[in-house]
Structures are given as structure tokens and as C-alpha cells.
Structure 1
């Protein structure tokens, strides 16, 4: 199975929405959840601008790749300015992220900062940059990728948990300000999803068994499970949904 096959939404969500004429920016769209979300939006008629570090193949339709390192503030600002010159952005999906694991007592501060920049700093910056034109028009959708660790602590992932907890609260706070102005801000909290980020956990027999025992649905999630939720939140079906952090976790948090 190739990286894209493993991380993409090959079948697509049974839920459909008409995104014709809309442009979505999806960060980290070269693989995993971001790739699947981009595919879902393309399938439903949107133009998708993908911001990612690696060149990507496989996307069809109206896909516009923008290769940039979102951990680099100057590159990020230049990429955003270029996108805004060429596109009216209706939907922003802040998906790109990084997880570095260490026992906290040995967690290097440089690795802590490496996690915070893409997971939180870039989310804040892109939300402001793409959100301002949305506010001026009185319409737009922003979807942030939170995590199960927005709710739970996890193990050896203190930097990631801190960043994703912040993403959840940031989502709620901005939603309070922007909902009256026509811009919907929500987040998705993926559970354990079988993508590139979790290869080590899937391969660890003990941890894999422990994880599956905790998930009522009895399986790891797929990137397409998250893509379906992202399509819903981008659609008019979610027009009265503001400030939510939607778990897509097979029931993990309910256990």
C-alpha cells in the first residue's frame, strides 16, 4: 500500500455537499488526513489550494499545490500572500502538525518549540490572515485539527498535548468573536487514525492491542473518516455549528 493510498479517501464519504465555486486552503495536503480532506473537497466541486512541504502527486481536478515550509514564518507569510493575490478563500483547514515524543523530564526545549510552531503558531497566523477577508465579506469557514489529546494527556507527548489543547480553546474563543460576523470556526478531534504519523503505534503489538480495546468501534480510524467530518463542517448543513470540537474517534472518549 502506498503512502497516498493509505492516507487518502479513495472511496469518499457517503455525505455530499455542493462546494462548486468555493476555494479551500488545506495545509499538510500531501499525505494522510490532509490528503483525504483535499480529495473530498475536490470530489465535491471545490478548488483546493494545498500548502505542504513536499511535492504531491495524485490530486486531480482543481488542485493548486503550494510548496512551503509552514514551520518557517517567512515562507508561510510569502505563501499566504501569494494565495490571497490569486484566490478568494472560502474555507481554511488547518491540518498540518507535528508530534515529537520524549519523557517530559528529558524533553528538549528545542523540540518543544518545534512542535508548537506548526501546531499552534501557524494555525493562529493562518486563521488571522485568511480570516480577515472572510470577515470583510461576512462569510467563511475555518476548520482546525485538534486531537484526542485536546481532552486527554497521553504519554510522552506533552508538547503535542499542550499544542492541541490550545487549538481547542483557540477555536472556541475565535468562534465566539466571529460567529456574529458570518465566519464559522470549528475543530475536528481525530481519534487514533491509521496514517503516517501513527506507523509506530500500529506496529507496536502491545500498544495496538491496548488502543483497540479502548475503541468501542473496534478499529483504527481512516483518513476518509476525518474527511467526511471536514466536508460536513464546510457545508451549509453545518450552518448553525460554531465553536465545536468534534471528536471523530470511534467512541474512544465515551469509554
Structure 2
């Protein structure tokens, strides 16, 4: 075993959906830095092109994942894909009684239905070739909810079960499927919270490390799951949350205690 090259991705093609910004962008850059050819896909093709320009073997693809036909065409036209990473998601922060059916459809449509389409479109040729890695982004909200996050949390919990089922179904063909569950990370999706100092500090205080993650701190998980370092890892959820789920609900009593 050449452990020095365990994380290298030379000669492999990765597709990153959501590569125009945030975690998707950093994931694409990290995969490229480890030798992969990276297709930077995003609804905002100009943003995807900006990411691709920073990768030696990177190129951009305009892709609206809400268009199932476009997803199928992309999977067909791209040919052999060794790794699929998808990060695109949306959230409407409202309590359940305030939600509209249109908002429900918008959140579930992008977070769950589009994920279903991506897994099927890119997973089928991987199964036929007998290799590949699929990495979808869930969230700690799949396990730990708060008021106003119900629909988002439901989609992220559903995504984990979708990916675990894909792992079971695709595994006999040599295809691995895993989820990454971030905690609070500074991305465009969390801009509303970042701009509220009280909210920002409260979330930072929920973690063991006492801070938010930078989007780049999620990229290592993606490289790991895409590489041979994770050759026996499938059906797993890699939580990258600064210890949030380990200490959620903690109480630090005064004094020594026991």
C-alpha cells in the first residue's frame, strides 16, 4: 500500500454541484488540489467558471438541478465520473404553522427531490462501470432541530436515509455513497445568521470549539470520502460540526462536581 498517495485523485473526474460558492466551491478546489479533474457545476455558470479558473484541470458547467432532464443530460454527456459531490440546498426559516405549501415545495424540491435525481442520474453509470463515490451534504439538523428549522431538518434527515439506501443498493457494484453533516459554517446559506451578532455568538457557543467553521474546513471530508483512503467507507455520515452534536444540551455546573 502506497500510503503517501492514499488521498491523491490523479486521473479521476469529479463533479461538484454547487461549486459556485461556499462549501461546494471549497470542495472543488480541494479535489483539484489533490489531482482530480473537476467539473464545477452550478446554476450560476459564471460563479462556477470563477471556481474552475482556479483549478488546473477544472471546467464549468451551468446546471439547474431542479431540471431533472438537465441532470440526466449532464450525467450522460460527462461520461465517466469517479466522484459526485452535491451541496446545493435552501432553507426557509419559519415555524411549521407559518409555512406555505409553496415554501414547503421549494425546500423539499431542491434539498430532497433534486438530490434523488442526482443520485439516480450519476449513480446508474457508476453502477454499470463498477466504481464511484457519491457524497451528499446533509446537516446536523438531521439529528438536532430547533424551532423554525422543521422542513429543512426533515429534508436533511431524509437525505441521509436516501444515501444510506443507495449505499446498500449500489455497494455490490463497488459504488460508495456517504453523507457529510456540517455544523454551523460560514456560507451564503447562513448569511442571515452571520449578520446577527447575538445569533452568531449563540451558535458558536453551541460547539465544543466555540466557533463557526469556515467553508474550507469541510473540504477535507470530501477529499477523504472521494479517495482510496475511504475505500471501505459507505453508508456513513461524517459529522463535521466542531463537536456540536457531542455537547448539545450540555450544562457546565459551577465548581468541581463529579
TM-score, reference length from structure 1: 0.89
Residue of 15, 18, 21 corresponding to 1:31:
21
The structure with higher relative contact order (CA 8 Å, sep 6+) is 1
In 2, Cα distance between the equivalents of 1:93 and 1:34?
8
Between 157-166 and 196-205, the greater mean CA deviation after superposition = 196-205
* 1:85, distance to aligned residue in structure 2 (A): 2.3
- Counterpart for residue 66 of structure 2: 71
* 1:213, distance to aligned residue in structure 2 (A): 1.5
In 2, Cα distance between the equivalents of 1:121 and 1:131?
15
Q: Secondary structure at the match of 1:45?
A: coil
Alignment of 1:136-155 (within 5 A): 136-155=128-147
TM-score, reference length from structure 2: 0.88
- Counterpart for residue 204 of structure 1: 196
- Counterpart for residue 18 of structure 1: 8
- Counterpart for residue 179 of structure 1: 171
Q: 1:175·1:185 contact (CA, 8 Å) conserved in 2?
A: yes
Unaligned ranges ≥5, structure 2: 248-258
- Counterpart for residue 62 of structure 1: 57
Q: 1:90·1:139 contact (CA, 8 Å) conserved in 2?
A: yes
Runs of 4+ in 1 over 4 A off after TM superposition: none
In structure 2, the CA distance between the partners of 1:145 and 1:82, relative to structure 1 (3 Å rule), is closer
* 1:58, distance to aligned residue in structure 2 (A): 4.0
In structure 2, the CA distance between the partners of 1:98 and 1:37, relative to structure 1 (3 Å rule), is same
In structure 2, the CA distance between the partners of 1:185 and 1:86, relative to structure 1 (3 Å rule), is closer
* 1:84, distance to aligned residue in structure 2 (A): 2.5
* 1:135, distance to aligned residue in structure 2 (A): 0.8
Q: Which has the larger radius of gyration?
A: 2
In 2, Cα distance between the equivalents of 1:248 and 1:236?
20
Q: Secondary structure at the match of 1:20?
A: coil
* 1:48, distance to aligned residue in structure 2 (A): 1.1
In 2, Cα distance between the equivalents of 1:128 and 1:161?
22
In structure 2, the CA distance between the partners of 1:86 and 1:254, relative to structure 1 (3 Å rule), is closer
Residue of 91, 98, 107 corresponding to 2:99:
107
- Counterpart for residue 43 of structure 2: 53
Q: 2:65·2:114 contact (CA, 8 Å) conserved in 1?
A: yes
Cα deviation per residue 1:70-118 (whole Å; 9 max; x = unaligned)? 2233xxx235424532431110112111111112101011011011111
- Counterpart for residue 91 of structure 1: 83
The count of corresponding residues between Structure 1 and Structure 2 is 238
Unaligned ranges ≥5, structure 1: 1-14
Between 79-88 and 176-185, the greater mean CA deviation after superposition = 79-88
Q: Secondary structure at the match of 2:213?
A: coil
